[in-house]
Amino acid sequence: VMLAVTAVQVVCAVGAVYFGSRASMGVGRDLRSDLFHHVTGFAAEETARFGAPSLLTRTTNDVQQIQLLVQLTCTMLVTAPIMC
């Protein structure tokens, strides 16, 4: 019985990571697309005010952090109840 429960737990954990990764990649893709279209609509003054390094950081690192948050949240929502 314990072996069967462990096998189910492993399958659920793998599924949680897979679907959490897919969800976070979709969120990141959509967020980057929206951010790109928003930034390309900036006037020259707005672009100069933020600066290229800041805009580059926001479109890469900040979106990556949000992706990681979504992935970990999705993974923990599935695996935490199984652990208890």
Q: What is the chain's length?
A: 84
Calculate the average pLDDT of the chain: 89
Predicted local confidence at residue 65, as pLDDT: 95
- What is the sign of the dihedral through the CA atoms of 81, 23, 18 and 57? negative
Residues whose CB falls within 8 Å of the CB of residue 28, separated by 6 or more in sequence, listed in order:
63, 64, 66, 67, 70
Q: What average pLDDT does the segment 14-21 reach?
A: 91
| Stretch 33-61: mean pLDDT | 89
Q: What integer pLDDT is reported at residue 84 of this predicted model?
A: 66
Predicted structure pTM score: 0.77
Q: What are phi and psi of 42, to 5 degrees?
A: -70, 145
User: Taking Cα atoms as reference points, which of 18, 3, 4, 8 lies closest to residue 82?
Assistant: 8
